Amino acid sequence: MKNMESAENEGLLVRRIRNGTVIDHIDGGEALNVVKILGITGTTQEALSIATNVPSRNMGKKDIVKLTNRELSKEEVDRIALISPRATINIIRNFKVFEKKGVEIPTLIEGLVRCPNPGCISNTHEPIRSKFRVLPKGLHCIYCDWVITRDITSHII
Amino acid sequence: MHHIISIGDFDRSEIDRLLDHAGQIDRKKYDAHALGGKILAVLFFEPSTRTRLSFESAMARLGGTSVSVGSVDACSMAKGETLADTIRVVSGYADAIVIRHPKEGAARLASEFSTVPVINAGDGAGQHPSQTLLDLYTIRQSMPIDGIDIALIGDLRYGRTAHSLASALSLYNARLHTLSPAGLELPDTLSAQLEEKGMEIIRHESISEVIREVDVLYVTRIQRERFPDSASYFNVASSYRITPELLADAKQRLIVLHPLPRVDEIDPRVDESPHARYFEQSRNGVPVRMAMLMQVLQ
């Protein structure tokens, strides 16, 4: 009964989309960070739906993001894995799931996270993008060897 | 193309091979024209005496030539040029670049934009691989590096030579003892990395409690500007000073190293002691840097 209620609520909260991407199974509360990682700002022209803390049988609570008229590339998808490794991506064409894929944690991320070390060359006006190697313990700046071990989202550019 | 940016890019066999080569060079077994016709660009954006001179000397001893700008003020970076552009330009003038820069990661950046090999001669509080290699070489002249007890003394927070050496010694099962004033301890991230590699790190309050145990005292300069006033600086600096009286309790094989310049950290009377190796260490910069130059240029 409870699950039916949550399914109905979900249906009310987030409408089906004709074309675009549905990012499902985002860890509860991380949807806004996913949107930030995707570089979507308040000036976007396309419809964007966000549902947070939706009851989920497997996850307890999950978030969902629906983007109309935009199909995410693999690079964009994998960035999401940094904060929500269980997320699933559904590419929607004409209301149908055209492609479904999981996210993979990338080995190197470029231009996504700012190095917290003020002495790092990546925080100057040099024509480079920040580069971090993804290690089990965190993100390792390939320039200054600083390791970000927690709260990665607060360092997203 | 082979760059030398961080000691962390070396595995143990590569370090040992380079030190073996430096040993051959030290015994005068090298071709004095090995780098004839080659040009080394010396880009130093921070002051240096030993590192710069020894790289230039190393290049000259192998028959090569060095070119450099006089100072940062005299180069185009003073006009606002990026390091990336400077490197692109200079790599068209030389066969290799040796760089010192105040920003951490500057040498890594240089290697991305250079069309010739880059050697890091110190980047901010980051890496200084040639110093580490000559430190290891100097230790190896006196004893096998494996399993030594080494005390790092002084400014371990900002001291890049201590960071690089500690990282390299983690490949040799060394045991690390640290002594530093409050606020200048080894950074937590580095300690964690070293401990993850299995290195034992023991923190001490005074040198006298560790002097009987250690094989190497690696002394670094405590910078006056890290303290609010001269009185507190002298108070702290004097408690980390190495004296002949302190060394009276040391193991016979103990050696005292210092990347230099020293100020007050080592009593000049220690210079006469059989334990003192810091001038030898400085001299070793030439054969070690000759081996590095040959590695990237041949």
A144 vs B: CB within 8 A: yes
Q: What is the mean pLDDT of chain B?
A: 93
Tell whether A44 is within 8 A of chain B (Cβ): no
Across the interface, whether the CB atoms of A128 and B84 are under 8 A apart is answered: yes
Here the CATH number for the domain that contains residue B22 is 3.40.50.1370
Per-residue pLDDT of B163-183, as tens digits, reads 999 999 999 999 999 999 888
Query: Is B85 inside any structural domain?
Result: yes
DSSP sequence for A70-96: ----HHHHHHHTTT-TT-EEEEEETTE
Q: What is the pLDDT of residue B43?
A: 95
Whether the pLDDT of residue B73 is over 80: the answer is no
Dump pLDDT digits (tens) for A75-121.
788 888 888 889 999 999 999 999 998 888 889 999 889 999 999 99
| Residue B2 placed within a domain | no
Greatest Cα-to-Cα distance within chain B, rounded to the nearest angstrom = 55
- Tell whether B151 is covered by a domain: yes
Q: What band does A157 get if pLDDT is binned at 50, 70 and 90?
A: confident
Q: Please identify which residue in the block is written with the tokens 């040992």.
A: B16
* Burial class of residue B71 (count of CB atoms within 10 Å of its CB; 0-12, 13-18, 19+): exposed
Q: What residues of chain B lie within 8 A of the CB of A131, using their CB?
A: none
Helix (H/G/I), strand (E/B), else coil: B127: coil
Could you tell me which CATH class the domain A2-102 is placed in?
Answer: alpha beta
Most confident of A139-153, B15-29, B66-80, B231-245: B15-29
Domain boundaries, chain A: 2-102, 108-155
Same structural domain, B263 and B247:
yes
Residues B80 and B147 in one domain: no
Architecture per CATH, A108-155: Roll (2.30)
A145 touches chain B (CB under 8 A): yes
Q: Which residues in chain B touch residue A120, judged by CB atoms under 8 angstroms apart?
A: 103-105
Chain A residues touching residue B82 (CB < 8 angstroms): 125-127
Whether the per-residue pLDDT at B297 is higher than 70: the answer is: yes
Residues B121 and B141 in one domain: no
- Average pLDDT of the segment spanning B247-251: 95
For residue B173, the tally of other CB atoms under 10 A from its CB is 14
pLDDT, mean of residues A61-87: 88
**Which domain covers residue B139, as residue numbers?**
130-282
B266 part of a folded domain: yes
Most confident of A120-129, A143-152, B235-244: A120-129
pLDDT the model gives residue A45: 81
Handedness of CA B133, B136, B141, B144 (dihedral sign): negative
Residue B72: its pLDDT value, please?
65
**Which of A121, A142, A146 has its CB closest to that of B106?**
A121
Q: How far apart are CA B74 and CA B192, in angstroms?
A: 41
B244 and B182 co-located in one domain:
yes
> Do residues B70 and B190 both lie within one domain?
no
Q: A116: cis peptide before it, omega within 30°?
A: no
State whether residue B79 sits within 8 Å of chain A by CB: no
CA distance B131 to A45: 55
Using CB atoms and an 8 Å cut-off, which of residues 112-131 of chain A contact chain B?
A: 117, 119-122, 124-128
CA atoms within 13 A on the CB side of B226: 19
Compute the distance between CA of residue B83 and CA of residue B101 in angstroms, rounded to an integer.
Answer: 10
pTM: predicted TM-score of the whole model, two decimal places: 0.87
Which candidate, A20, A14, A11, A17, places its Cα nearest to that of A69? Answer: A20
